[in-house]
Amino acid sequence: MEVSFQNFSPESLLKSFQIDQNPIFVTIPCFAEEELMTTLYSLDQCKECGKKPVVILLVNSPEGVDPEILNKNKTAYLQAKYSKFESIAIFPVHVYEIPKRIAGVGLARRMAMDTASFLYRHLNKENQPILCLDADSAVEKNYLREVVRFFEKNPNTAAVSIHFEHPYTEEEDLVLKNGIIDYELHLRYFIEAQRWAGHPHAYQTIGSSMAVRSSDYRKQGGMNKRKAGEDFYFLHKFSRINALADLNSTTVYPAVRVSDRVPFGTGKALKDIKDGKKFSTYSFSTFIDLKKVIDGVNKLIKGSGMDLKDIFPTTFFECFGHEQISAAISESMKNSSSPENFEKRFYYWFDAFKVFKFAHYCRDNCYPNQEVLSAVNNFFDFCETETTFESNVDALEYMRFQIKTVNFIER
């Protein structure tokens, strides 16, 4: 159905569609997309998962949107509405006249996920997962089956980060092909280096590659309305409470494409690369310092009486300030009855966002960025794997394989 933003509510949609009694909801925000049918056909080819896959497609049009984009949105909506599929049901909604000040991917995801959560609640099935995909992403044929199976086998897990791989072999533009290899290698290096350092909240946060249990989605206040980075802030709600996990037994394939819709992320990185900017990543020295921070925390857990300046690197104090760090440690100790509680409280403060802030501080003030392959080889040297890569693609394929099959860096 088509509905103006001021009239949109999950409840208002209930009478418009017949919902299977045993569904699994896949939510897809859609804006100016031309490859939507590829995504829908990919889902339709998935193996049976014991539930009826229902796609909630949230086509979103801000007020005053460019007529060309509005036409693309209407075309996507009508394609989804009238196309026939064998395995999946489509629940398309075109929400228009969204206020510009709030329009964006975060709001679109929220509307779609709120609808899925409402429908699960209506069916009394709030323990089921809400899957998040993008309108330009394909999935492995076992995608639905593996997500359903994971949540059934792990009742205490609230959300998952699903393995992803950009299909770089399909890209004919050599600049973009090399660019997406660099970018994905950077993403994998950034998370695996954090895991090597010992940070407990190191997870990939890709909006097209995540899922959350409906009941936990509601408990954590739902999706945020950020115009960019909504996936990072959403998933790390769950890492902070130790309720996030990796799901590596299936794969999502996000599209390789240039975009300037948001100020960071895959599309922006590829646009910069296409415009001639050399892509680089954080120096491995940043993660050596991060490991010193985490080693220092471990000393505190064991009851070390050493001065904080003797156990933490200078960059840590320069980034956050001695007073703020001391207060976080004091507060964590005061409210903890065990070393395990202290650790949880401290990392609730020194969370993934602060690691990101720390990495940016080190980049801007201490350790300039490196070429991606150079940083990755430094990383493998410190891991003592005796592995050195001659090309970025070899490094990427190795890391993909290790992550998906043997958990390269153990938690």
Domain boundaries, the chain: 2-171+203-245, 284-369
pLDDT for 408 beyond 70: no
Q: Tell me what the mean pLDDT of segment 25-49 comes to.
A: 96
The residue type at 348: Y
pLDDT for 22 beyond 80: yes
pLDDT for 110 beyond 90: yes
Rounded CA Rg of the chain: 22
Cβ-based neighbours of 50, under 8 Å, separated by 6 or more: 22, 145, 148
Q: What is the pLDDT of residues 154-195, one digit of tens each?
A: 999 999 999 999 999 998 889 889 999 999 999 999 999 999
Return mean pLDDT, the chain. 92
pLDDT for 388 beyond 90: no
CA 180 remoteness from chain centre: 17
pLDDT computed for residue 278 by the predictor: 83
- CA angle (229, 143, 405) in 5-degree steps: 85
Q: At what angle do helices 105-122 and 230-239 cross, to 10 degrees?
A: 50
Tokens 């009238």, residue? Answer: 82
- CATH number corresponding to 2-171+203-245: 3.90.550.10
The residue type at 90: I
Cβ-based neighbours of 69, under 8 Å, separated by 6 or more: 31, 32, 61
Q: Tell me what the mean pLDDT of segment 387-402 comes to.
A: 93
Residue 211 sits at φ, ψ, to 5 deg, of -150, 155
Q: Where are the alpha helices (DSSP H) in 56-210?
A: 67-82, 105-122, 143-153, 174-197
Q: Tell me what the mean pLDDT of segment 268-293 comes to.
A: 88
Cβ-based neighbours of 118, under 8 Å, separated by 6 or more: 10, 11, 14
The residue type at 57: L
Other Cβ atoms closer than 10 A to 101: 9
Work out the end-to-end distance of the chain between its first and last CA atoms, rounded to an integer number of angstroms: 45
Question: d(Cα 109, Cα 93) in Å, to the nearest integer?
Answer: 12
Question: d(Cα 219, Cα 257) in Å, to the nearest integer?
Answer: 35
Q: Structure tokens of 334?
A: 């005061």
Binning pLDDT at 50, 70 and 90, where does residue 306 land? confident
Other Cβ atoms closer than 10 A to 362: 25
Question: d(Cα 338, Cα 345) in Å, to the nearest integer?
Answer: 11
Least confident of 28-42, 108-122, 163-177, 268-282: 268-282
Residue 377 sits at φ, ψ, to 5 deg, of -65, -35
Looking at the chain, the whole-number percentage of residues with pLDDT higher than 90 is: 79
Q: At what angle do helices 372-382 and 392-406 cross, to 10 degrees?
A: 50
Order the strands of the 129-132 sheet from edge to edge. 2-4, 89-98, 52-62, 23-30, 129-132, 210-213, 159-164, 244-254, 137-139
Q: What is the pLDDT of residues 201-259, one digit of tens each?
A: 999 999 999 999 999 999 999 999 998 899 999 999 999 999 999 999 999 999 887 66
pLDDT computed for residue 258 by the predictor: 64
Instruction: Name the β-bridge partners of 59.
Output: 30, 94
Cβ-based neighbours of 171, under 8 Å, separated by 6 or more: 177, 180, 256
Q: Tell me what the mean pLDDT of segment 112-141 comes to.
A: 96
pLDDT computed for residue 168 by the predictor: 93
Q: Structure tokens of 180?
A: 């997406």
Binning pLDDT at 50, 70 and 90, where does residue 113 land? very high
pLDDT computed for residue 273 by the predictor: 79
The residue type at 293: V
Q: Is 69 in contact with 30 (CB distance < 8 Å)?
A: no
Tokens 């497609």, residue? Answer: 57
pLDDT for 411 beyond 80: no
Q: What is the pLDDT of residues 65-93, one digit of tens each?
A: 999 999 999 999 999 999 999 999 999 99
Q: How does DSSP assign 203-256, residue by residue?
A: ----TTSEEEEHHHHHHTT-----SS-HHHHHHHHHHTTT-EEEEEEEEEEE--
Binning pLDDT at 50, 70 and 90, where does residue 315 land? very high
- CA angle (135, 141, 145) in 5-degree steps: 100
pLDDT for 262 beyond 70: no
